[in-house]
Structure 1
Amino acid sequence: MLRRALSRGATSCSVWLALTASNPALGADTASLALAPSVRQLDQIVVTGTRSPRKVSDTPVRTEVVPAEEIHNTHARDVKEALENVPGVLLREIHGKAGYEVWMQGLNADRVRVLIDGQPMTATTGSAMDVTQLSTVDIERIEVVKGAVSAQYGSAAMGGVVNIITRPVSPGIAGEVTVDGGSYGDQNPDGEAVDFARRNLQTNLSMGGEKLRWRISAARQENDGVDPEPATWARPGDAVERSQLATRLDWMPDPQHRLSAEFGYFLEEGMSRYLLERPGNNQNAGKEETAERWRGVLNGEHRPGASSGNSSEDSPEWHWSLLHEDLENTTEKYTASSRFDRRDATHTLSRASGWTQIEPLEDHQLQLGTDFNHASLEQHKDGASELAEAGEFTQNTRELWLQDTWFASESWEWSGGLRYQHDSDFGGHVAPKLNARYDLYQSADLNLYLRGGWGAGYRVPNLKERHYRFDHSQLGYVVEGSTALEPEESDSYQLGWGLSYRNTAWFEINAFRNDIDQLVQTELDPAATAARNDGVQVYRYANTDRARTQGFESTAGWQWRDGWKLSLGYTYMDAEDLDTGQPLTRRPRHQAKFAVDGLAPVPGMSWLVRVRSQSDETVDADSGAESPAFTTVDFKLNQDLGRSLRLFTGIDNLTDTQRNFDDPDDFSPVYGRYIYAGLTLGFGPDR
């Protein structure tokens, strides 16, 4: 396989280096690859679709990349900010808290799997991952695969995968610190327009030798929130503080083996303020929420045929990992006279995985893997269990998968796979996948290609959907789990055509369709709402029989020289409940994103503009309520002073586009114009 991939230009380095590019734990010497200014958009190496290193334009599974250069130049502090310029990706505010989740191709965040180096994360709110909780401090790149077309990932990946790939530890001693802060002007909660209402810190230190390498990193984000009327109690933008600490140790006893141990800690403390509506007497009230995550991962990679200065293309690869994660979430409401509704929930995830890659025939690459998952959930309110039988609920899943990549000719590549999943509550299911890529025309300057795929998606309801209680009564609703839920199934179709010219200009259009059966959504429970007698609406998870999302995405770009790039993305989407004929809510029909990067006349200075626009979207299909269309513009400026110091500034939401907080159907941006400045100071051999 790698012989053919090399002949197609998948990579220009050795086979062993190509392998290490697919797994950050192996590729410590490639740390600066994504940062090199000569790396073009189409040169990016991706691994998420097939677990094999491929150029972004060559992989049979369509993959989009956010490289480290984009993350640094746009001053992205978390994964939400890093993803917001990816065409077709919707970042939705998580109702009731200061966080955001990822939607793709009309499928909401419960069906999008967020991974770190291929390992899953425990959902922090609902069944979705809050991507504002993931700092960019150690990220090398982010890879995005849309739709259920890859056999590599199982339940919860019906809508696609966001794989966060961390930077490997490099030899030598290196370190970096970034600090920045800014103001929301007259919407700062303290009423002082020149105050720093948001403050950020990222730092890391690494030391590496030939066989042993170590890194420690930390991040801190503080946001006082946003308040159009600082003199009043209620505040529409929540205050939140996030702290992250991570460390990693790599051991390479010889060229054939590498072991890696990672440990991470995350703490989020949020506070919202609102008016508690009581008959004849509205009270000032608030909610405090804490999320605490402990995460440990052990990885092993083994290539027995590799040796110093020599490697064999036919040598098998062996990979294994062990993961354990604990997530504790605590919420408590309060007024001036009392504290009430204290809710504690504990979620655990344990996972053991292994996979191997062999080449049984010259033009075939075969991958075989297995995953074992154990999840548990406990929840208490004011000390009493809210779960049936006053205990904890558990869920066990066994998954087996295989994928065969066949290089049928110089023009054809096929990648087919199967994934078998057995769940302790829902039994077994097989999901097949098939992807292909065909070169219509290829020369030294021009490449025209077709790329398509089909995949059967399958997702079992998780413990939160079946048992958890989301209490947002301060916002007028609660969501109850439902034990009657059935697994979701889908068919995902992707078909695209693209071209690249001299590796500096590109165009691609991709049509998609997702047919979903038993889609899990929330529905109003009139009987339970009436029984409360306090005006709070009760929603429950329920299966919608049939739904469909379809449309197309197009991207185009021109990177004519280092430092200068222009790109544009447009997405059209139609999402429908096939049983009622009504549109699925919160899916805009049109979405466009525009980006331009350039250099200033001043040595070391660069600038960029990012524009994001979307059409109006249905909020309630029965009433016809809609959220209005909006457009935001960001401007960033960077000034490099030598190799060790960067000064930067920016204006997010330059047009000050913001929702009408008096309109519950308006889901335009919460935050208006934000002006900030900061600096990055670093040292080490990679700078």
Structure 2
Amino acid sequence: MPAYPTLILLTTGALFLPMLAQARTTSATDLGTVVVVDSRGQDSLGGTHAINREEIRAHDRETLGTALELLPGVTLSRGGARNEEMVRVRGFDLRQVPIFIDGIPIYVPYDGYADLGRFTTFDLERVEVAKGFSSMIYGPNTLGGAINLITRKPQRAFEGEVGGGLSFTDHGERNAWRTYANLGSNQGNWYLQAGLSYLDEDHFRLPGGFDTAPYQAEGRRHNSYRTDQKASFKLGLTPNDSDEYMLGYVRQEGEKGNPPYAGRLSSSRYWQWPTWDKTSFYLGSSTGLGDHRLRFRAYHDTYENSLFAYDDASYSTQNTPRAFRSWYDDYSNGLSLEDQWQMTSRDLLRLAYHYKEDVHREHDAGEPWQRFEDRTQSLAAEYSRELSDSLTLVAGFGHDRRDGRKAQNYTVSTGLVDEDGGRNHSNNGQLGLFYRPDADSQWRLSVARKSRFATIKDRYSYRMGTAVPNPGLKSEHATHFEVGHSRALGAGWQMDMAVFRSHIDDLLQSVRIDDSRCSSPPCSQMQNVDQARVNGLELVLDGQFQGWDIAFNYLYLDRQNRSDDSVRLTDTPRHKAFASLGRTFGPWELLLSADAASRRYSSSDGVQVADGFAVYRLKGSYHFAGGLSLSTSVHNLFDREYAYSEGYPEPGRTFLVQANLTF
């Protein structure tokens, strides 16, 4: 890791660059955005989809996972043994599609995941999802794409919003409440944005048709509480029309219970998370220097977690072998440097360097702390060439390297042992053609070869005595092919369609082995043994019909395990759709929406299957003059029993009453 004086020197140099900046004819791109751009450095290319804060608020999507569910190609998975909210982008999970805030990577160092249920959306401006052919400027581990959270930036001298609401179960009992506030000021040459939010849920209630299970009676869902609070802050300097310098801070604190398994095929866990806390502190700058634009990012990200496992549903004793107390204390330091060079009016070259140091520290009660360190570096180049007024070529290349700096494991028999750190590198490349016959239409054809490194957990976890580490794991690779088309259909209608295919090589899979180091046979080890294929179709259609606003997206996804067709690829349906129908009547607004999905496998042997479902929401709002809005909504309108993971049923019919004031 570079010494802190070096980081301070780089940061100080970036902050003084505006004194040297020359004027540019184009305005600076939003600091938080990372997209493939054309040769003029302006229009974004590729199949990136985004959802803005108005859409997130209209559909009451208070957590990141549920907000992403609105987008094409994204499927939500929730519940499971860890009660985590996850998404898959065209079948790729969060280890392969990492999370960023304003272009800063924030995925957890240990396993690459992040519980999206802990990320509330009240302070976000929009969420962008890149798939397959994603910008090389994101850096390493974007095997399946990237998810970028763009925080708010004020546009007026003083602006903001405050809001809150209460939710009630079908039996009329209040089970949750939330409140939030966002304030901002833009004074021309500087701006300030701050946000606070608090969400507390005591429990949720199961649908009326739920049948009693061994670990769950009808009515209230056991151990289904959660509390999430968040504070965010952003200070920016804009000394001229082309340059921007920003300091950002996000602090989120959460705790949650883990509802027990409510199916009939396995035993249950009794887990609670007293802490799930994350802090992100970052700097960013964008400076124009003649034909060059220099961008700089530096960050320090921390993650603290505690997990307590109990003997039974009383959550009061820890005497059996299954009980434990575990703590994580992780952090990441990193930086990225980018040079965007306008070589000619038709040629744009972007060069980037990324450095990231990940440190994972963990221990169980009565055991010593274990420490793991990884250092990842990446070089990337992205070139855009305007072949004609309507045809653009984009080519990219990247080289990534990961060095295992330290790895300590603890077992009762061996004590604290240093493992082999391991080293791995990978190459990435992509090529895309984008044809725009007119301003309202675009064709895209792309191929991309991407990778992601095995996580610390993949390489070193003993998985509670049932597995053996494998420090020599190689990176996974995927080759993506896509043909896409978007166009305006007239009369306010817009269509986007994509056909895609992905070949995944060196896929990590748990393989059964014989090894005396396992204290709880059967024994397994993570190995690069599998190959998979993904075929799919996305369709998006938005428009108006006789005063009604209509939105629709559909995903067809066929995932195949080419190495062993008896082992299922889990947690994704073959068909997924979202549709909404809205209309305003003066100050009144009505919105009906539906999420639908076919069945999905919850276990790789196909024994556990979550059935398909269609769930409806209805919302009515009244907008007063002066920015005040009141709304009432019903979630799971028909009290349908459904689940994203077998044995983990979702809430029944729930009512939400809210107020929001914008100014």
Q: Taking structure 2 as the reference length, what is the TM-score of the superposition?
A: 0.83
Once residues 224 and 515 of structure 2 are traced to their aligned partners in structure 1, the CA distance between those partners, rounded to angstroms, is 32
Q: Which amino acid aligns with 2:541?
A: A
Residue 331 in structure 1 maps to residue 307 in structure 2: yes
Once residues 518 and 630 of structure 1 are traced to their aligned partners in structure 2, the CA distance between those partners, rounded to angstroms, is 34
Once residues 59 and 611 of structure 1 are traced to their aligned partners in structure 2, the CA distance between those partners, rounded to angstroms, is 30
Cα separation, partners in 2 of 1:612 and 1:51, compared to 1, 3 Å: farther
Residue 572 in structure 1 maps to residue 559 in structure 2: no
2:158 to 173, 179, 193: 173
Cα separation, partners in 2 of 1:660 and 1:221, compared to 1, 3 Å: closer
* 8 A contact 2:166–2:657 mirrored in 1: yes
* Partner SS for 2:343: coil
Matches within 5 A, 1:193-592: 193-228=171-206, 235-236=221-222, 238-255=224-241, 257-272=243-258, 274=260, 286-305=271-290, 315-334=291-310, 335-338=315-318, 340-385=323-368, 391-424=370-403, 425-439=422-436, 441-442=437-438, 447-468=440-461, 482-502=470-490, 504-522=492-510, 531-532=519-520, 541-559=526-544, 564-582=548-566, 583-592=568-577
* Partner SS for 1:656: coil
Once residues 120 and 506 of structure 2 are traced to their aligned partners in structure 1, the CA distance between those partners, rounded to angstroms, is 34
Cα separation, partners in 2 of 1:160 and 1:364, compared to 1, 3 Å: same
User: What is the CA distance between 1:204 and its match in structure 2?
Assistant: 1.9
Cα separation, partners in 2 of 1:199 and 1:470, compared to 1, 3 Å: farther
* 8 A contact 2:509–2:530 mirrored in 1: no
* 8 A contact 2:28–2:286 mirrored in 1: no
Q: Which amino acid aligns with 1:354?
A: L
Cα separation, partners in 2 of 1:660 and 1:431, compared to 1, 3 Å: closer
Q: Which amino acid aligns with 1:431?
A: N
* 8 A contact 2:47–2:133 mirrored in 1: no
Which residue of structure 2 lines up, in the alignment, with residue 37 of structure 1? none
Once residues 641 and 539 of structure 1 are traced to their aligned partners in structure 2, the CA distance between those partners, rounded to angstroms, is 61
Q: Which amino acid aligns with 2:330?
A: H
Which residue of structure 1 lines up, in the alignment, with residue 638 of structure 2? 655
User: What is the CA distance between 1:564 and its match in structure 2?
Assistant: 3.9
Which residue of structure 2 lines up, in the alignment, with residue 72 of structure 1? 57
* Partner SS for 1:581: coil
* 8 A contact 2:38–2:44 mirrored in 1: no
Which residue of structure 2 lines up, in the alignment, with residue 676 of structure 1? 656
Cα separation, partners in 2 of 1:172 and 1:420, compared to 1, 3 Å: same
Residue 102 in structure 1 maps to residue 98 in structure 2: no
* Partner SS for 2:553: strand
Which residue of structure 2 lines up, in the alignment, with residue 48 of structure 1? 35
User: What is the CA distance between 1:413 and its match in structure 2?
Assistant: 0.9
Cα separation, partners in 2 of 1:96 and 1:275, compared to 1, 3 Å: closer
* 8 A contact 2:102–2:149 mirrored in 1: yes
1:127 to 112, 123, 130: 112
* 8 A contact 2:261–2:647 mirrored in 1: no
Once residues 204 and 51 of structure 2 are traced to their aligned partners in structure 1, the CA distance between those partners, rounded to angstroms, is 28
* 8 A contact 2:98–2:112 mirrored in 1: no
Q: Which amino acid aligns with 2:392?
A: E
Deviations 1:510-540 (CA, angstroms, capped at 9, x unpaired): 111111111124456787999538xxx8765
Matches within 5 A, 1:621-632: 622-623=605-606, 625-632=608-615
Shifted more, 635-644 versus 323-332: the winner is 635-644
Q: Which amino acid aligns with 2:659?
A: L
* 8 A contact 1:60–1:413 mirrored in 2: no
User: What is the CA distance between 1:465 and its match in structure 2?
Assistant: 2.3
Which residue of structure 2 lines up, in the alignment, with residue 30 of structure 1? none
Identity value in percent: 20
Cα separation, partners in 2 of 1:580 and 1:418, compared to 1, 3 Å: same
* Partner SS for 2:224: strand
* 8 A contact 2:592–2:617 mirrored in 1: yes
Which residue of structure 2 lines up, in the alignment, with residue 92 of structure 1? 77
Give the total of aligned pairs. 603
Which residue of structure 2 lines up, in the alignment, with residue 22 of structure 1? 30
* 8 A contact 2:39–2:345 mirrored in 1: no
Residue 137 in structure 1 maps to residue 122 in structure 2: yes
Cα separation, partners in 2 of 1:420 and 1:165, compared to 1, 3 Å: same
Once residues 107 and 325 of structure 1 are traced to their aligned partners in structure 2, the CA distance between those partners, rounded to angstroms, is 24
Q: Which amino acid aligns with 1:195?
A: E
* 8 A contact 1:395–1:423 mirrored in 2: yes
* Partner SS for 1:152: helix
Q: Which amino acid aligns with 1:215?
A: Q
Once residues 275 and 131 of structure 1 are traced to their aligned partners in structure 2, the CA distance between those partners, rounded to angstroms, is 20
* Partner SS for 1:465: helix
Q: Which amino acid aligns with 2:304?
A: E
Q: Which amino acid aligns with 2:427?
A: V
Once residues 492 and 111 of structure 1 are traced to their aligned partners in structure 2, the CA distance between those partners, rounded to angstroms, is 13
Deviations 1:248-274 (CA, angstroms, capped at 9, x unpaired): 211234445432111221111112365
User: What is the CA distance between 1:169 and its match in structure 2?
Assistant: 2.9
Cα separation, partners in 2 of 1:525 and 1:599, compared to 1, 3 Å: farther
* 8 A contact 2:109–2:359 mirrored in 1: no
Cα separation, partners in 2 of 1:481 and 1:632, compared to 1, 3 Å: farther
* 8 A contact 2:276–2:305 mirrored in 1: yes
* 8 A contact 1:284–1:336 mirrored in 2: no
Shifted more, 514-523 versus 629-638: the winner is 514-523
Deviations 1:474-520 (CA, angstroms, capped at 9, x unpaired): xxx98886434321111111111333234821223211111111112
Q: Which amino acid aligns with 1:204?
A: N
User: What is the CA distance between 1:621 and its match in structure 2?
Assistant: 5.3
* 8 A contact 1:633–1:652 mirrored in 2: yes
* 8 A contact 1:246–1:265 mirrored in 2: yes
Once residues 333 and 232 of structure 1 are traced to their aligned partners in structure 2, the CA distance between those partners, rounded to angstroms, is 24
| Uncovered stretches (5+) of structure 2, i.e. residues with no partner | 1-22, 207-211, 404-421
Q: Which amino acid aligns with 1:265?
A: R
Once residues 206 and 213 of structure 1 are traced to their aligned partners in structure 2, the CA distance between those partners, rounded to angstroms, is 7
Deviations 1:323-354 (CA, angstroms, capped at 9, x unpaired): 00111111123343447511111221111111
Once residues 40 and 240 of structure 2 are traced to their aligned partners in structure 1, the CA distance between those partners, rounded to angstroms, is 22
Once residues 223 and 422 of structure 1 are traced to their aligned partners in structure 2, the CA distance between those partners, rounded to angstroms, is 43
